[in-house]
């Protein structure tokens, strides 16, 4: 970056699922845009993955303070989430950020079975606890913390969505329901909080671990074959390519708060 005009100024950034894949790419892609005094918090289950992401961030922008938070959002309590946020952003003497960005990236596919075969109630409950419940709690805690500590900062919430939030896919009932639910939650947030910018971003078909699982675990033969063809034909996107598009969308600010914007949208 050539100067302050190329940055977003001093920011606080929180990225969930930051240890690999799209989450790590978000951290790496956003880092060069952050100005002096910025803090980036990466949340994930593995310390090793977060250490790798920290290296990417430091290489992209040595001025950014990266804070790894090892936390399993699928089982974390409200108290644990709150403690992590306060230890990362609540210290005395921290520069007041001009922007606070929260990237809700953590998520899972769940069992890729037909709905008639989803009889494991515990799995279903655990799925929605991670993919819906923890998102609601973490989101509320961060917004309240920011509004109390630095009320003049702009808050931007980015939910990593999917085409599956809009279209049904056979044997992907949990994933479709989770993504659709999250989209609607953030549409409601945009309505409730007009001073908070909200984006539901569908990153497109990514060449990552999740796609590998989709090619091997999807119960529906037709859908599984489609994913395999996309891989074989080179139609999957790199995480960095999708993040570049996301950053362009955030810079252009042409979306209405709460909108669902896909990688392939013009």
Instruction: Return d(Cα 223, Cα 225) in angstroms, integer.
Output: 5
Give the N- to C-terminal CA distance of the chain in Å, as an integer. Answer: 26
Of 60, 79, 110, 98, whose CA–CA distance to 217 is shortest?
A: 110
Instruction: Return d(Cα 168, Cα 248) in angstroms, integer.
Output: 28
Homologous superfamily in CATH for domain 4-207+239-262:
NAD(P)-binding Rossmann-like Domain (3.40.50.720)
pLDDT at 64: 96
pLDDT at 2: 37
The domain locations on the chain are 4-207+239-262
User: Are the C-beta atoms of residues 96 and 152 closer than 8 Å to each other?
Assistant: yes
Taking only the tens of pLDDT, the chain with its 266 residues reads: 334 447 899 999 999 999 999 999 999 999 999 999 999 999 999 999 999 999 999 999 999 999 999 999 999 999 999 999 999 998 777 788 999 999 999 999 999 999 999 999 999 999 999 999 999 999 999 999 999 999 999 999 999 999 999 999 999 999 999 999 999 999 999 999 999 999 999 999 999 988 999 999 999 999 999 999 999 999 999 999 999 999 999 999 999 999 999 999 97
Strands in 59-212 per DSSP E: 65-70, 99-104, 154-160, 196-202
b/e for 15-52, b at 16 or more Cβ within 10 A? bbbbbbbbbbbbbbbbbebbbebbbbbbbbbeeebbee
The pTM (predicted TM-score) of the whole model is 0.95
């Amino acid at each position: 970056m050539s100067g302050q005009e190329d940055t977003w100024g001093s920011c606080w950034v929180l990225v969930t699922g930051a240890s690999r894949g799209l989450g790590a790419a978000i951290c790496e892609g956003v880092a060069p845009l952050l100005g002096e005094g910025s803090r980036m918090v990466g949340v994930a289950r593995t310390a090793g993955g977060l250490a790798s992401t920290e290296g990417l961030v430091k290489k992209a922008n040595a001025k950014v303070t990266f804070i790894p938070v090892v936390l399993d959002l699928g089982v974390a309590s409200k108290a644990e989430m709150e403690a992590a946020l306060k230890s990362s952003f609540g210290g005395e003497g921290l520069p007041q950020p001009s922007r606070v960005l929260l990237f809700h990236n953590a998520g899972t596919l769940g069992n890729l079975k037909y709905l008639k075969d989803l009889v494991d109630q515990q799995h279903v409950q655990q799925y929605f606890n991670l993919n819906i419940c923890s998102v609601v709690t973490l989101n509320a805690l961060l917004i309240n913390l920011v509004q109390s500590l630095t009320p003049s900062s702009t808050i931007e919430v980015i939910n990593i969505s999917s085409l599956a939030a809009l279209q049904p896919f056979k044997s992907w009932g949990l994933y479709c329901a989770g993504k659709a639910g999250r989209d609607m939650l953030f549409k409601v947030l945009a309505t409730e909080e007009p001073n908070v910018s909200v984006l539901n971003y569908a990153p497109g078909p990514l060449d990552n671990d999740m796609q590998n699982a989709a090619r091997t675990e999807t119960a529906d033969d037709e859908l599984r074959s489609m994913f395999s063809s996309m891989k074989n034909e080179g139609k999957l996107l790199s995480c960095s390519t999708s993040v570049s598009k996301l950053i362009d969308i955030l810079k252009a600010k042409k979306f209405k708060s709460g909108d669902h914007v896909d990688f392939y949208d013009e």
